Structure 1
Amino acid sequence: MFFFLIVIFSLNIKAQQLVLPGDNPDPSVVKIGDTYWASATTSNWLPAYPLLKSKDLVNWKMEGSIFNKLPEWADYYFWAPEVTYDKGRVYVYYTAHKKNGNLCVAVASADKPEGPYRDHGPLICQEVGSIDAFPMRDENGKLHIIWKEDGNSVGKPTPIWISEMNEERTALISEKKELFRNEQPWEANLVEGVSMIKHGDYFYAFYAAAGCCGPGCTYVSGVARSKSLFGPWEKYDKNPLLVSTEKWKCPGHGTPVEMGGKFYFLYHAYDAKSGAFAGRQGLLQEFVFTSDGWIQFMDTASDKSAIVPLSISDEFKGRSLSELWQWSVFQNLDYKLTKGNLELSALPVVSGSYIGQKTYTADYTADAVVSVARSTAESGIAAIGDDNNIVTMSVAGDTLRVSVIKRGNAAFMMEKTVKTKDKLHLRMQVKNGKDITFLYSTTGKDFKVFNDESIDATFLPPWDRAIRAGLTSKGDAYKTAVFESFSLKSIGE
Structure 2
Amino acid sequence: MDILTRSHLLAAVGLAGVASLGALQPAVGQAIAGLKSPVPTAVVNPVLPGDFPDPSVTKIGNTYWATATSSNWGPVFPLLKSTNLTDWTLVGHVFSGEQPAWADYYFWAPEISQDGGKTYIFYAAHKKGGNLAVGVASADRPEGPYRDHGPLVGQPDGSIDAFPVRDEKGQPYLVWKEDGNSIGQPTPIWAQPMNAARTALTGTRTELFRNTAPWEGRLVEGVSMVRHGGYFYAFYAANGCCGGGCTYATGVARAKTLLGPWEKYARNPILTQNDTWKCPGHGTAVERNGHWYLLHHAYAAAPGGEMVGRQGLLSEFVWNAGGWPVFVSGGPGAPAPTRPAPPVRDGFDGAALGLAWQWPVEYRPAATVGGGQLHLTARPDHGGAVLGHTIYTANYDATTTLLRLATLPAGTTAGLAAFGDPDNALALLAGDGRLRLVRRAKGQEEVLVETALPTGAGPLRLRLQARRSTHFAFAYSADDGRTWQALMPPGSDVDGAYLPPWDRGIRVGVLAQGPATAVADFDEFTLTSQAL
Which of the five TM-score ranges fits, normalised by the shorter chain? over 0.9
Distance, in Å, in 2 between the alignment partners of 1:215 and 1:166 is 41
SS at structure 2 position matched to 1:206:
strand
SS at structure 2 position matched to 1:186:
helix
Q: Is the 8 A contact 1:342 1:483 kept in 2?
A: yes
Task: State how 1:311-322 maps to structure 2 within 5 Å.
Answer: 311-322=343-354
Matched, 1:50 2:78: yes
Shift of the alpha carbon at 1:491?
1.4
Change (3 A) 1:300 1:269: closer
Change (3 A) 1:282 1:191: same
Q: Is the 8 A contact 1:19 1:306 kept in 2?
A: no
SS at structure 2 position matched to 1:62:
strand
Tell me the equivalent position of 2:89: 61
Q: Return the match for 1:375 from 380, 403, 408.
A: 408
Amino acid at match of 2:457: K
SS at structure 2 position matched to 1:212:
coil
Describe the superposition over 1:13-54 as per-residue Cα deviations: whole angstroms up to 9, x where unpaired. Answer: 966732110000000000011110000000011111111111
SS at structure 2 position matched to 1:20:
coil
Distance, in Å, in 1 between the alignment partners of 2:527 and 2:158 is 38
| Segment drifting more, 415-424 vs 65-74 | 415-424
**Structure number with larger C-alpha Rg:** 2
Q: Is the 8 A contact 2:43 2:86 kept in 1?
A: no
Tell me the equivalent position of 2:502: 463
Distance, in Å, in 1 between the alignment partners of 2:48 and 2:370 is 32
Q: Return the match for 1:435 from 471, 475, 498.
A: 471
Task: State how 1:157-306 maps to structure 2 within 5 Å.
Answer: 157-273=186-302, 274-299=304-329
SS at structure 2 position matched to 1:95:
strand
Amino acid at match of 2:436: R
Task: State how 1:303-382 maps to structure 2 within 5 Å.
Answer: 308-371=340-403, 372-376=405-409, 377-382=412-417
Shift of the alpha carbon at 1:293?
1.6
Distance, in Å, in 2 between the alignment partners of 1:15 and 1:335 is 38
Distance, in Å, in 2 between the alignment partners of 1:53 and 1:124 is 29
Tell me the equivalent position of 2:36: none
Distance, in Å, in 2 between the alignment partners of 1:57 and 1:308 is 17
Distance, in Å, in 2 between the alignment partners of 1:309 and 1:115 is 29
Tell me the equivalent position of 1:446: 483
Q: Is the 8 A contact 1:15 1:298 kept in 2?
A: no
| Greater RCO, 1 or 2 (C-alpha within 8 Å, sep 6+) | 1
Give the TM-score normalised by structure 2: 0.88
Distance, in Å, in 2 between the alignment partners of 1:416 and 1:93 is 50
Q: Return the match for 2:516 from 477, 484, 488.
A: 477
SS at structure 2 position matched to 1:17:
coil
Give the TM-score normalised by structure 1: 0.95
Amino acid at match of 1:315: G
Q: Is the 8 A contact 1:47 1:65 kept in 2?
A: yes
Shift of the alpha carbon at 1:450?
0.4
Shift of the alpha carbon at 1:144?
0.3
Amino acid at match of 1:294: W
Distance, in Å, in 1 between the alignment partners of 2:373 and 2:295 is 38
Distance, in Å, in 2 between the alignment partners of 1:338 and 1:375 is 18
Q: Is the 8 A contact 2:44 2:339 kept in 1?
A: no
Amino acid at match of 2:400: A
Q: Is the 8 A contact 2:45 2:339 kept in 1?
A: no
Tell me the equivalent position of 1:10: none
Tell me the equivalent position of 2:53: 25
Shift of the alpha carbon at 1:277?
1.3
Task: State how 1:416-431 maps to structure 2 within 5 Å.
Answer: 416-419=451-454, 420-431=456-467
Tell me the equivalent position of 2:68: 40
List runs of 5+ in structure 1 lacking aligned partners.
Answer: 1-12
Q: Return the match for 1:103 from 132, 153, 160.
A: 132
| Segment drifting more, 127-136 vs 334-343 | 334-343
Shift of the alpha carbon at 1:375?
3.4
Shift of the alpha carbon at 1:110?
0.6
Distance, in Å, in 1 between the alignment partners of 2:288 and 2:371 is 46
Distance, in Å, in 1 between the alignment partners of 2:364 and 2:270 is 43
Q: Return the match for 2:426 from 374, 385, 391.
A: 391
Shift of the alpha carbon at 1:350?
5.0
Distance, in Å, in 1 between the alignment partners of 2:296 and 2:400 is 34
List runs of 5+ in structure 2 lacking aligned partners.
Answer: 1-40
Q: Is the 8 A contact 1:15 1:299 kept in 2?
A: no
- Identity, in percent, stands at 49
Q: Is the 8 A contact 1:18 1:306 kept in 2?
A: yes
Structure with the largest fraction of helix: 2
Task: State how 1:113-192 maps to structure 2 within 5 Å.
Answer: 113-192=142-221
Distance, in Å, in 1 between the alignment partners of 2:523 and 2:354 is 14
Shift of the alpha carbon at 1:332?
2.9
Amino acid at match of 1:375: L
SS at structure 2 position matched to 1:242:
coil
Distance, in Å, in 1 between the alignment partners of 2:161 and 2:219 is 13
Distance, in Å, in 2 between the alignment partners of 1:241 and 1:42 is 27
Matched, 1:489 2:489: no
Shift of the alpha carbon at 1:242?
0.8
Q: Is the 8 A contact 2:190 2:207 kept in 1?
A: yes
Distance, in Å, in 2 between the alignment partners of 1:472 and 1:370 is 11
Distance, in Å, in 2 between the alignment partners of 1:309 and 1:209 is 29
Describe the superposition over 1:405-439 as per-residue Cα deviations: whole angstroms up to 9, x where unpaired. Answer: 11111245321002243211100011011100000
Change (3 A) 1:310 1:492: farther
SS at structure 1 position matched to 2:182:
helix
